[in-house]
Amino acid sequence: MIKQILELHSFRGWFLTFGLLFAAIFLLPVLNIFISEESFFHIPDYMFPLLGKYLCYAIVALAVDLIWGYTGILSLGHGVFFSIGGYAMGMYLMRSIGDEGVYKSDLPDFMVFLDWKELPWYWYGFDFFSFTLLVIFLLPGVFAFIFGYFAFRSRIKGVYFAIITQAMTYALMLLFFRNNTGFGGNNGLTDFKRILGYSLQDPSTKMGLFVITVLVLFLSYVLSRYIVKSKLGRVLTAIRDVENRVMFSGYNTLNYKLFIWTVSAFLCGLAGALYVPQVGIINPSEMQPANSIEMAIWVAVGGRGTLVGALLGAGLVNVAKSWFTVAAPDYWLYFLGFLFIVVTLFLPKGFIGIFDRFTPRNNNRDVTND
Amino acid sequence: MTSEENQTNESSVDTRHGCILYVENVTVSFDGFKALNDLNLYIDDGELRCIIGPNGAGKTTMMDVITGKTRPDEGTVFFGQSMDLTQMTEYEIAHAGIGRKFQKPTVFKNHTVYENLELALHADKDIWTSLLKRLNADQKVMIEGALETIGLVEQKNIRAGLLAHGQTQWLEIGMLLVQDPRLLLIDEPVAGMTHQETEQTAELLSSLAGKHSVVVVEHEMDFIRSIANRVTVLHEGRVLAEGSMEDVQNDPKVVEVYLGS
């Protein structure tokens, strides 16, 4: 097992991966704490939640790439899994506020506002972090499994599948918008105070959350890499290319699709859960159809079917988005559309494809590892 | 250990009566058009059978029915004495020991030749095995052997999409070989092949008969003459004639609809 994991990368690949990991976990905090604020190399406190947010998006990009880039199943509903993870974490954070809300009640503020007298049953358990973690780990996957089982069993494919995932995210968004669904309506969950007793305003908490996000991203990457480098990964790309052939070779493709779909939703849920404490809010707009489409665009821009491409895409698009929404907010959507067209027309393999162009890859790549 | 279970599973194809495939009274219609019309076909264990017929005679539909891709409206299809193929899914049928080569060569173009064979290889094909296990020594030997047989040893690390047409056909046959089926269904194996490649293919298929049962659908007459001892002629969804190549060629009905045209 360990040998298999070590073989996932060449020495250079691992060196680079661990270099980045080290830089994120040690170098950035050191630059924040020990370098004076006037220095060019100082990392200000506000950078950590911002970078943390990007890293959450990077996890989402890995998830979307596994199902779309590798297996050829385009999902335009991954915002749902992200939101399930996010809402679960949000509910825990709401309960951690205690009676320090505006209304000084034990109930979350929005419930007091709606004149609710007691906690709805589905909020039970979110007082406990362990229960919340369990929900974050299981619920997105279970939900995806059920949805996927019916969709894949009916052999819904391609654009039809994409459309029903859009419908799924839209339906859930409408559900969460309603006040009496019990998740804060269109305001969502916000005004969080602390996580596990640590104040969310505290710079060290922010740094801690950032470091945890880095570690989760790293593990997600290793897991994804393990999957795509295994025979299972080759079966997935084979399903993408000619599913019939895979079936006639004796594989139950339903199980394979269901497996990767569930793993993808699981990773997305983790990302959502990490996103909420760092951004400070979760509301139904995360389930807007456009949000899920944007996730697919990150992967298309970076490069489908390569994990590094997905990470790169999530980074590039979101940094551009942060810049645009400050400098020229009205033009962001135009730019995004433009970017998508350029990539589709000129860079079918995404930005990562540019590197391939300059370093023509040898077709005799060694796969047997002898 | 589980692969042994599979082995017994496959040898449990019950061929005591000498027959491996029973297609009986099968009818398939598409919007009123009967692609298969009360078709009866029996394939002996270890036999090499050629199936010919003009376009639209129902050859490909017949393959679809046997492999579970199309469900017959009427009739039964049995693999051995006991396996009812009309109740099984594509992958179950493949797992039970029926391999298929498509009319249009279908390989995994983004995978290397070696990986193509690895994917087709007879092994446990559930998720966890695929995720956790690597090829063992025996399996590697099998793949190397198949590479020799299909003459693609030097190309083993090339992407299959870069192969020449004939090589692609051979790769697909190789994938069937490592799948180790009891019954091979082969749709137009020599389409687009050079004369020499055709001869090699004929040799290869002849050598497979005995150990496997082979059903070949082909248009190329010289090719059929060189391999077949028994030929079945399909016409309008049913069997028009059956027998040796010579008998079939001299059958006036056959001459009329097919060879004469």
Give residue A358's pLDDT band: very low, low, confident or very high (50, 70, 90): low
Whole-number pLDDT of residue B166 = 87
Residue A138 neighbours by CB under 8 Å, 6+ apart: none
Q: Report which of A369, A351, A368 is spatially closest to residue A301, judged by C-alpha positions.
A: A351
How many Å is the Cα radius of gyration of chain B?
18
What are the chain A neighbours of B175 within 8 Å (beta carbons)? 249
Q: Among B100, B108, B127, select the one facing A256 at the smallest CB separation.
A: B127
Chains A and B form CB pairs within 8 A to the count of: 92
What are the chain B neighbours of A4 within 8 Å (beta carbons)? 134
How many CB atoms lie under 10 A from the CB of residue B158? 17
> What is the rounded average pLDDT for all residues in chain A?
92
Segment A356-367 shows an average pLDDT of 50
Best A231, A255, A258 member to test B by mutation, with max B CBs in 10 Å, is: A231
CB contact under 8 A, B130 and A244: no
Q: Report which of A181, A165, A221, A226 is spatially closest to residue A91, judged by C-alpha positions.
A: A181
Confirm or reject contact between B162 and chain A (CB < 8 A): yes
What are the chain B neighbours of A364 within 8 Å (beta carbons)? 157-158
What are the chain A neighbours of B111 within 8 Å (beta carbons)? 234, 237-238
What are the chain A neighbours of B106 within 8 Å (beta carbons)? 242, 244-245
Whole-number pLDDT of residue A362 = 43
Question: What tokens appear for B2 in the block?
Answer: 């589980």
CA distances from B204 to A192, B87, B105, B199 (A): 72, 32, 17, 9
Q: A 227-266 residues with CB below 8 A of B?
A: 227, 230-232, 234-235, 237-238, 241-242, 244-253, 255-256, 259
CA B107 to chain A, closest CA, distance in angstroms equals 7
Residue A76 neighbours by CB under 8 Å, 6+ apart: A162, A163, A165, A166, A169, A289, A292, A293, A296
CB contact under 8 A, A227 and B106: no
Least confident of A103-107, A112-116, A276-280, B9-13: B9-13
What are the chain A neighbours of B119 within 8 Å (beta carbons)? 231, 234-235, 238, 246, 249
- Whole-number Å distance between alpha carbons of A270 and A315: 18
CA B42 to chain A, closest CA, distance in angstroms equals 22
CB contact under 8 A, A231 and B118: yes
Least confident of A119-133, A140-154, A334-348: A334-348
Whole-number pLDDT of residue B259 = 55
List residues bridging with B242 in a β-sheet: B232
Least confident of A199-203, A356-360, B197-201, B239-243: A356-360
Q: What is the DSSP letter of B71?
A: -
- Whole-number Å distance between alpha carbons of B119 and A232: 9
Residue B207 neighbours by CB under 8 Å, 6+ apart: none
Whole-number pLDDT of residue A181 = 92
Q: Among B108, B126, B158, select the one facing A245 at the smallest CB separation.
A: B108
CATH class of the domain comprising B13-259: alpha beta
What are the chain A neighbours of B69 within 8 Å (beta carbons)? 244
- Whole-number Å distance between alpha carbons of A150 and A281: 32
Question: What tokens appear for B178 in the block?
Answer: 């490592």
Question: What tokens appear for A248 in the block?
Answer: 């006639």
Confirm or reject contact between B130 and chain A (CB < 8 A): yes
- Whole-number Å distance between alpha carbons of B261 and B250: 14
The domains of chain B are located at 13-259
Instruction: Supply φ then ψ for residue B19, to 5 degrees.
Output: -110, 140
Question: What tokens appear for A92 in the block?
Answer: 């825990």
Whole-number pLDDT of residue B206 = 87
What are the chain B neighbours of A224 within 8 Å (beta carbons)? none
Question: What tokens appear for A238 in the block?
Answer: 């084979």
Residues of chain B with pLDDT under 70: 1-11, 258-261
CB contact under 8 A, A367 and B157: yes
Kindly report the three-state secondary structure assignment for every residue of chain A: CHHHHHCCCCHHHHHHHHHHHHHHHHHHHHHHHCCCCCCCCCCCCCHHHHHHHHHHHHHHHHHHHHHHHHCCCCCCCHHHHHHHHHHHHHHHHHHHCCCCCCCCCCCCHHHHHCCCCCCCHHHCCCCCHHHHHHHHHHHHHHHHHHHHHHHHHCCCCHHHHHHHHHHHHHHHHHHHHCHHHCCCHHHCEECCCEECCEECCCHHHHHHHHHHHHHHHHHHHHHHHHHHHCHHHHHHHHHHHCHHHHHHCCCCHHHHHHHHHHHHHHHHHHHHHHHHHHHCEECHHHHCHHHHHHHHHHHHHHCCCCHHHHHHHHHHHHHHHHHHHHHCHHHHHHHHHHHHHHHHHHCCCCCHHHHHHHCCCCCCCCCCCC
What are the chain B neighbours of A245 within 8 Å (beta carbons)? 102, 106-108
Q: Count of alpha carbons within 13 Å of A10, Cβ hemisphere only?
A: 5
Whole-number pLDDT of residue A295 = 96
Query: Taking CA atoms, what residue in B is nearest to A238?
Result: B108
Whole-number pLDDT of residue A353 = 87
Segment A273-287 shows an average pLDDT of 97
CA A22 to chain B, closest CA, distance in angstroms equals 29
Confirm or reject contact between A84 and chain B (CB < 8 A): no
Best B9, B70, B91, B95 member to test A by mutation, with max A CBs in 10 Å, is: B91
Whole-number pLDDT of residue B256 = 83
Question: What tokens appear for A142 in the block?
Answer: 């279970």
Q: Among B67, B133, B134, select the one facing A248 at the smallest CB separation.
A: B67
Q: Among A230, A237, A248, select the one facing B130 at the smallest CB separation.
A: A230
Give residue A84's pLDDT band: very low, low, confident or very high (50, 70, 90): very high
Confirm or reject contact between B94 and chain A (CB < 8 A): yes
Query: Taking CA atoms, what residue in B is nearest to A255?
Result: B127
CB contact under 8 A, A255 and B126: yes
Q: What ipTM is given for this predicted complex? A: 0.87
Instruction: Supply φ then ψ for residue A361, to 5 degrees.
Output: -75, 140
Residue A150 neighbours by CB under 8 Å, 6+ apart: none
CA distances from A81 to A77, A109, A125 (A): 8, 25, 20
- Whole-number Å distance between alpha carbons of B187 and B60: 8
